[in-house]
Amino acid sequence: MSASTCCVPFPKVKSYTKQFITNKNVNKKRNKAIKNPECTCFKCLKETKENLHTIEIPQTGYGSRFDGLNTKIQLCDKCYKLTNPNWWKFKQIPIKELGDAGHNFTEYKYENEIFEYVNQMPLAGQELFFNRFASGAGADYMDAQEWIDGELNYECL
């Protein structure tokens, strides 16, 4: 997910951020590294200690998009209730395409839905998911703001 450094970011970053703009401050917050990750909802970026749902996602194996990626998603109660609770059971299913490979390769049943959801999070929330709260070979290990800035540049390609 990390972006390369090969594009000219400035003019296009502006047009990217425009799609969020309803209020300049909100927009700014969405692209700014989270200061208190332990009590922030990844989806709406509100800070709360009450009813914060911390969903641990253990890494899986080859063929899954969570291969080598341990991470977590934190959601406030309001955002959590808008998700499908089945996603968070992490039921493993065999990967059909790898059925003949001689091993039991599995993926999470709802990983497409989970990644679609993650992709709709503000970048500041995605940064926590892919970077600061992530570990394993599939995790990014970057400075938080550099990760976000890299994604902004990436989007402009």
Residues 6+ apart with CB under 8 A from 17: 27, 31, 152
Measured between alpha carbons, how far is 86 from 56 in angstroms, rounded to an integer?
A: 14
Neighbours of 113 (CB within 10 A): 14
The minimum distance between CB 37 and Zn ion, in angstroms, equals 14
Closest to Zn ion by CB, 41 vs 128, is 41
Number of residues that bind Zn ion (CB under 5 A): 5
Closest to Zn ion by CB, 44 vs 55, is 44
- Of 9-17, 60-68, 75-83, 90-98: span binding Zn ion (CB under 5 A): 75-83
The minimum distance between CB 119 and Zn ion, in angstroms, equals 16
Instruction: Verify binding: residue 41, Zn ion, rule CB under 5 A.
Output: yes
Nearest to 154 by CA among 132, 129, 135, 126: 126
**3-state SS assignment for residue 86:** helix
Q: Looking at this protein, which amino acid is placed at residue 107?
A: E
The minimum distance between CB 1 and Zn ion, in angstroms, equals 21
Instruction: Verify binding: residue 55, Zn ion, rule CB under 5 A.
Output: no
Residue 138 near residue 104 (C-beta atoms within 8 A): no
Among 33, 57, 76, 139, indicate the residue that binds Zn ion (CB under 5 A). 76
The minimum distance between CB 135 and Zn ion, in angstroms, equals 23
Residue 128 near residue 74 (C-beta atoms within 8 A): yes
Instruction: Verify binding: residue 121, Zn ion, rule CB under 5 A.
Output: no
Terminal Cα distance for the chain, rounded: 14
Among 3, 33, 34, 79, indicate the residue that binds Zn ion (CB under 5 A). 79
Instruction: Note the residues at the interface with Zn ion (CB under 5 A).
Output: 41, 43-44, 76, 79
